[in-house]
Amino acid sequence: MSSATETVIIALTRGRILEETLPLLREAGIEPLEDMRNSRKLKFATSHEQVSLLVMRGSDVPVYVENGAADMGVAGKDMLLEYGGEGLYEPLDLGIAHCRLMIAAPTQAPAPGARLRVATKFTGIAKRWFAEQGRQVELIKLNGALEIAPAMGLADAIVDIVDTGNTLRANGLEPRETIAEISSRVIVNKASMKIKSRLIRAILERLAASAKRHSV
């Protein structure tokens, strides 16, 4: 059994991932004691006296977990690929918030010149992927308004998350190549996994069971 004084902090990603993670946590016996969606608070007590939750931007989750400010976290695979996961354990794919990280370009656009201009917020992933393909690119870092970049002459293509593809079509773009299939993963701080092993493994087992039920 884990020590009664042992506590675990789980960092969660705002938005769709939070919405799809909360039911899994609830089934695992971890439910926030107040509405996380409509609160300005960032830290929440739960029905499990040894577990508390944080809510934040997805890009911050791996930072909090790797540096030990949170013991565990739930983040999209896109964020983990961009951040680099060498300092983290990634023991569980929850199978939620499915989407694809893709290259998109204007519909029926001719092939670009020798050097492709690509707008993206995933500059690390894009740099590695194009290098592996042996393709020269100029990366343009944007945090939003990606879909309009080709129409405004800023870029030849974009690298972004694609769900239904409706936003691409609305802006005259079409998906070209898939870089990665994305879903939400549980990550764990390496030191926490050793020090709080029993409690963390119990949470992982319950979450895995919840995820399996929801995937059926």
pLDDT digits (tens, 9 = 90+) for 18-34: 999 999 999 999 999 99
Per-residue buried b or exposed e for 22-53, using 16+ beta carbons within 10 Å of the residue's own CB: bebbebbebbbeeebeeeeeeebebebebbbb
Q: What angle do CA 89, 182, 188 make, to 5 degrees?
A: 15
Name the token pair of 149: 């970049």
The pLDDT tens digits for 149-182 are 999 999 999 999 999 999 999 999 999 999 999 9
Confirm if 186 and 91 have CB atoms less than 8 A apart: yes
DSSP state of 164: S
d(CA 3, CA 18): 28
The gap between the terminal CA atoms of the chain, to the nearest Å, is: 31
Q: Is the pLDDT of residue 115 over 90?
A: no
d(CA 123, CA 139): 7
Among 20-29, 60-69, 103-112, where is mean pLDDT lowest? 103-112
The pLDDT tens digits for 118-158 are 999 999 999 999 999 998 999 999 998 899 999 999 999 99
Report the percentage of the chain scoring pLDDT > 90.
84
For the entire predicted model, the pTM comes to 0.91
Average pLDDT score, the chain: 93
- Report CA dihedral (75, 79, 83, 89) to the nearest 10 degrees: 30
pLDDT given at position 1: 41
Three-state SS annotation for 62-129:
HHHHHCCCCCEEEEEHHHHHHHCCCCEEEEEECCCCCEEEEEEEECCCCCCCCCEEEEECCHHHHHHH
Report the percentage of the chain scoring pLDDT > 70.
96
pLDDT given at position 4: 57
For the chain, list the domains and their CATH numbers. 8-97+183-215 (3.40.190.10), 99-180 (3.40.190.10)
Name the token pair of 61: 């989750």
